[in-house]
Chains A and B, each alone.
Chain A
Amino acid sequence: MLTITDLHASVGDKPILKGLTLDVPAGEIHAIMGPNGAGKSTLANVLGGKPGYEVTGGSVMFRGQDLFALEPHERAAAGLFLGFQYPVEIPGVSNVQFLREALNAQRRSRDEAPLSGGEFLKLAKDKAGLLKMDMDMLKRQVNVGFSGGEKKRAEMVQMGILDPAFAVLDETDSGLDIDALRIVGAGINSIMRSPDKGVLLITHYQRLLDVVRPDKVSILAGGRIVETGGPELALRLEAEGYDSVMA
């Protein structure tokens, strides 16, 4: 579903990804772990198409398409969702307005009829409920005045509404307390655990993986995947640290 081959990318003049290869087929939740500075967020941002991240080599195929031939909004319409480590505040724009524009833009690009205001609100209410989020919060400005945990839950509400085929989740567990972690984890399972969907789950900690059980775990270090294994790899990392596993 997502096939990354020998990917090289730089931020400014600094090479960060140095030959990253990874394949995530449909039906797989693939966790990426790695030390600080390994290139985890760079990978997420390159996949999302964030300005300032330059691809200098390699390729990414997503559902049979060259991902880098698509603009960020086209990637979203093609079914890619990027969960932000630091969700952005947008003063003056409500969540409801933003998400309805986003969903209907995606639907239009797939030749589907846009949802009416009523239809959209019903869908939003349903997905907000899944993440135990009050509808009143969705009527507020995008992420403005939200706590760290609320921002991450709002990200998952967005994911629920947009219903992507593939999600790249960049440290979605950071800034969450134990209860919020469970709610967000359950949200990921409910929205994305499916034979025809895939997830790249970037995280520092085992605790999210206790809720969202990965099918595979890869270690990203020095801009490359250095080891791939099953869920037991994450447990070994948690117990022994990166040095021992990568040695």
Chain B
Amino acid sequence: MMAEAATLTLPSRRDEAWRYADMDAVARLGAAALDQWQVINVAAGESVTRCMIVGSDAPELHRIRVTLGEGARAAFFVTNRGGDYTRVELEVRLAKGAHFEFGGVTIGGGTATREFVTQVIHAEPEATSNQTVRAVHWGTGTGNFLGEIKVARHAQKTDAAQDFKALLLEAGAGANAVPQLEIFADDVKCAHGATVGELDEAARFYMMARGVDPATAQRLLVQAFIGDAFVSLDDEAERETLLDAALSALEGARL
């Protein structure tokens, strides 16, 4: 194992999936960290749901490889509130009729980059995937969503969707969306959308005119904005936990 780890080299920004990564932080993580994959196999007809809150004061890398059997379902919901470079990668392979659901939020200020990198492989027909990512940043913080969808030649009736929206609370903050579709089948639906915007000032004034203080108005609007990412999570308590983790990161954001 040691010998094998030693042969690993660090990625570079020339690699598409690392284009917006914080390479200094990646170097601090070290090559060995790149070899840590969590493997999840979901058997035919089975279903798993995972909720994660990631991010700390140190760089973090979470690499997850998911294989879905026929008709299997996997749902991942992640709040990424890293105070340093924090990257969550999901590599998902779907068999016939499987479904992959992903809801992610990146939130934070400072100078850190937080990112989701997904590779969703529709290897068989009739599989579906839906990815919803929301990014809320201030300071010179950045949120990225690099989403690759691959549809194999015989994976007809694939239905894959990606939706990214970013809310930038300050001029120095940033967001990058890189959808990458590689489609070899002809009877498929693939949708992707990306928008970047600012806080709705009319809504904020409306709230303040009713007595809501600026911080609470901002929290309510951000909560509504990121809520989309977790809307398909049925477990209300889990949903609250993910939202609270995101909203507590909002404290200290510029009003």
Question: Which residue of the partner chain, among A48, A77, A102, contacts B207 with CB atoms under 8 Å?
Answer: A102
Taking a contact as CB atoms under 8 Å apart, the answer to whether B220 and A101 are in contact is: yes
Contact A90 B211 (CB under 8 A): no
Q: Name the segment of A8-16, A91-99, A116-124, A182-190 touching the other chain.
A: A91-99
Q: Give 13 pairs: A residue, B residue, CB < 8 Å, sorted on A.
A: A49-B209, A50-B205, A72-B208, A72-B209, A73-B209, A73-B210, A84-B209, A91-B224, A93-B223, A99-B210, A102-B207, A105-B213, A162-B211
Whole-angstrom distance between the Cβ of B104 and the nearest chain A Cβ? 17
Q: Are B210 and A162 in contact (CB under 8 A)?
A: yes
**Once the chains bind, are A102 and B211 in contact (CB under 8 Å)?**
yes
> What count of chain B residues pass the 8 Å CB interface test?
23
| Contact A48 to B209, CB < 8 A, known contacts A90-B203, A105-B216 | yes
The reply to whether A101 and B216 contact each other, CB–CB distance below 8 Å, is: yes
Asked if A88 meets B211 with Cβ closer than 8 Å, knowing A93-B221, A105-B216, the reply is no
Q: Any chain A CB within 8 A of the CB of B225?
A: yes
Distance of A48 Cα from B202 Cα, bound (Å): 13
CB contacts under 8 Å to B, within A30-84, are 48-51, 71-73, 75-77, 82, 84
A105 / chain B contacts, CB cutoff of 8 Å: 211-213, 216
Chain A, residue nearest B201 (CB): A51
**Residue positions of A touching B, CB distance < 8 A:** 48-51, 71-73, 75-77, 82, 84, 87-93, 97-99, 101-103, 105-106, 109, 158, 162
Is A76 a contact partner of B209 (Cβ separation < 8 A)? yes
Among residues 194 to 249 in chain B, which have CB atoms less than 8 Å away from a CB atom of chain A?
200-203, 205-214, 216-217, 220-221, 223-225, 227-228
CB neighbours (8 Å) of B200 from chain A are 90
- Which parts of B161-211 form the interface with A (CB within 8 Å)? 200-203, 205-211
Q: Is the CB of B210 within 8 A of A98?
A: yes
Residue of A nearest to B217 (CB): A73
Check B213 against A73 for contact (C-beta < 8 Å).
yes
State how many angstroms separate the Cβ of A55 from the closest Cβ of chain B: 16
A94 vs chain B, min Cβ distance (A):
9
Residues of B within 8 A of A93 (CB): 220-221, 223-224
Given known pairs A101-B216, A102-B210, A105-B213, the reply for A72 and B205 (CB within 8 Å) is yes
A76–B227 CB distance below 8 A: no
Smallest CB–CB gap between B105 and chain A, Å? 14
Instruction: Kindly name the residue among B210, B220, B228 whose own CB sees the greatest number of chain A CB atoms within 10 A.
Output: B210
Interface-centre pick from B200, B212, B221, B227 (highest chain A CB count, 10 A): B212
- Across the interface, A90 reaches (CB within 8 A) one of B206, B227, B228, namely B206
Contact residues in A for B208 (Cβ distance below 8 Å) = 49, 71-73, 76
Within 8 Å CB of B213, what residues of A?
A: 73, 105
B214 contacts A73, CB within 8 Å? yes
Residue of B nearest to A161 (CB): B210
Specify the chain A residue showing the minimal Cβ separation from B205.
A50
Q: How far is the CB of A47 from chain B (nearest CB, A)?
A: 10
Q: Nearest chain B CB to A114's CB is how many angstroms away?
A: 12
List A contacts of B224 (CB < 8 A): 90-93
Contacts of B205 in A (CB 8 A): 48, 50-51, 72, 88
The CA of A91 and the CA of B212, in the complex, are separated in Å by: 17
A79 to chain B, nearest CB (A): 10
Min CB gap B228→A, angstroms: 8
Contacts of B206 in A (CB 8 A): 84, 87-88, 90
Residues in B with CB closer than 8 Å to A72 are 205, 208-209
Choose one: B212, B221, B225; the contact of A73 (CB below 8 Å). B212
Find the B residue at minimum CB distance from A84: B206
Q: How far is the CB of A5 from chain B (nearest CB, A)?
A: 23
